[in-house]
Amino acid sequence: MGTKLVIVESPTKARTISRFLGADFVVESSYGHIRDLPTSKLGVDVEKNFEPQYIVPRKASKAVKLLKGAAKKADKIILATDEDREGEAIAWHLISALGLEDRPGDNIERIVFHEITKRAIEDALANPRDLDLNRINAQQARRILDRLVGYKLSPFLWKKIYRGLSAGRVQSAAVRLIVEREREIEAFKPEEYWTVSGIFNSKKHSEEFEANLSKIDGKPLEKFSIQNEKAAREVTDALAGASWRVGTVEKKATTKNPFPPFTTSTLQQDAFRRLGFSAKRTMVVAQQLYEGIELGSEGSLGLITYMRTDSLNLSQDSVREAKKFLADEVGKNYALSEPRVFKTTSKGAQEAHEAIRPTDPARTPESIKQYLDHSQFRLYDLVWRRFIASQMPQALFDTTSIDIEGTPEKKTGSYTFRATGQIMKFDGFLKIYPTKFTETTLPVLEQNEELLCKGIKPIQHFTEPPPRFTEASLVKALEENGIGRPSTYAPIISTIQSRGYVERYERRYLKPRETGLLVNDMLVEHFPEVVDIQFTARMEEELDEIAEGSKEWQPVIREFYEPFAKHLAEKYESVEKKNMIEETDEICEKCGKRMVIRQGRFGKFLACSGFPDCKNTKTIKTAPETIDMKCPKCIEGDVIIRRTKRGRIFFGCSRYPACDYASWTDPRKPPEGKQKK
């Protein structure tokens, strides 16, 4: 047998795979993409059926030279790039860049695998397949569509707003979600509502418990049934001196089901919520775990399956191994008799793919902790626990609901309060994958038993505006709206921040910058099809149809591009340039000319009106935002909004340091749940 050259994308992946192959195999890395569209021009011939003009970027030339030399010495070429569309396209580009088109068909093989383990690699080598041209065309179509939008629309923004701006087909739709949420928050007007709660105990039990008013005269209360303090006081006044008894006691068993194993989207969401990882960091660490980690004498091993997936499918081997681990190490009552199967609901999901899971369920996080850095350990622990928990029994709870009937002294009307309790009887999957829940114990009460009321209190509440997006909730919204696919969520979020359209707010939330608002408003008004959520989702579906072979890629691009190009030409003529310069009274200390306020990528700044002869610029010192309230401590200063070094908002006195008043909560609003006297 001659030499076989295996080509993968990364040196780490190459090192891991080489462990499972014999001496007649040589494994090399392409270091990612080795062909792409040029950055210096459009690179798409719109007159010739959108023919792309691929080049080998300078940074890839060294890898191409090395791979060409290795290919000449090899009797067989095995393309082992990732299994998704991007990996398929890289394999296709390798054939062209290395000049392999003239090789006999059986001389070039394409293999794919979901995990980098000896079993998976051997199985892939035994079952090679042809390149999937449909997937390649879907990737090409995405790349060309994004190039056409970016390279055609960005110059329009330069001319009509200012230079340096850019537009993206999918990123602009994501920015729109964030902008619209911000405007919902700005337009939000809090609505007042009240609840009434009571503290009770029985003559038999001194243990006190809380219950909330749920019905008046048998009619269930809605959120706004008690809208103001007057109505709440009418309830409490009516109940002064009331008699109380237990109405009904309902006991039942309830269950909590385990979550499915991770997809790309849910991994990014849970890694943000539980570990504080950004989507980008999650994918970087997941890639490391997938490609291989050095585990001492075991060498480099892939620890998780492929991390770009929207499938919930699990291999029979993996669920069988999970069952064995649970029975042997956790307890037989924690192992299912039959594996739990999860149905994938995501559009375009590849059922042949798998969810993200550990490659060896018996390899516990603690057993390899010494070989992992802090981030790798925490993410592997999360993936391992989620998968193992998915094959465990439900958690079982006993829940109790007690209705308490109050009869006013004057026998007018009836008031029902409800208390609920929950006790866990069997932890099930929660033993491995804990989630927050509260155990509440209620005393043992019987129907018609007399109760004592220790106090009734009205509680004022205000409705809250919708929350700003976090990376986790934005990923969820992108997935729910069909914007992007597993491989694009992290790049979308990273791009909109690096372009200065969106910023992190209080370290956690995503908030549009002024530049993002400007660009979004321009696109929404003049190019609604580019930022339309449904249009963007439909385009993703068409890309899926190309990947499935039910659509040709060029007609899909033409259907979008021809009306877009015509529309763009019209807007160049009809849209006036925005005046982004504001006059000021400040004088430039370098040349004596007047300073003006200009809009930059990351906000407004002062610049000399003599530019380009004078390039003097300054940051704008913004006055603190007041909330039209005097300081409650010193009475002299105003309450202003401040920020900590980490960006967290708090409220302080304008006379600081003379007055040290500070509050994390808005002093204008009574705390949630506080009784108003």
DSSP string over 179-205: HHHHHHHHH----EEEEEEEEEEESS-
Evaluate whether 460 touches 676 at the Cβ level (below 8 Å): yes
User: Which helix (H) or strand (E) segment is 475 a member of?
Assistant: helix 471-480
The encoded tokens of residue 185 equal 């928050």
Evaluate the omega torsion of the peptide bond into residue 393 and state whether it is cis, within 30 degrees of 0: no
DSSP string over 262-315: B-HHHHHHHIIIII---HHHHHHHHHHHHH-EE-GGG-EE--B--SS-------
**φ, ψ of residue 115 in degrees (nearest 5):** -145, 155
Evaluate whether 510 touches 474 at the Cβ level (below 8 Å): yes
Helix, strand, coil shares of the chain, percent, nearest 5, are 35, 25, 40
Count CB atoms within 10 A of the CB of residue 415. Answer: 22
Q: Considering Cα of 205, then 209, then 214, then 216, what sign does the dihedral take?
A: positive
Evaluate whether 665 touches 458 at the Cβ level (below 8 Å): no
Count CB atoms within 10 A of the CB of residue 319. Answer: 21
The CA-atom distances, in angstroms, between 654 and each of 638, 645, 660 are 5, 18, 9
C-alpha radius of gyration, the chain, whole number: 32
Catalytic position from the list 162, 193, 290, 306: 306
User: Which helix (H) or strand (E) segment is 27 a member of?
Assistant: strand 25-29
Evaluate whether 650 touches 611 at the Cβ level (below 8 Å): no
Numbers of helices and strands, H then E, in the chain:
17, 26
Range 124-133, long-range pairs (CB < 8 A, 24+ positions): 124/80, 125/78, 128/78, 131/79, 131/88, 131/91, 131/92, 131/95, 132/88, 133/92
Distance of alpha carbon 220 from alpha carbon 213, whole angstroms: 9
DSSP string over 229-264: HHHHHHHHHHTTT-EEEEEEEEEEEEEEPPPPPB-H
Q: Catalytic: 306?
A: yes
Distance of alpha carbon 549 from alpha carbon 443, whole angstroms: 64
Give the catalytic positions in this structure: 306
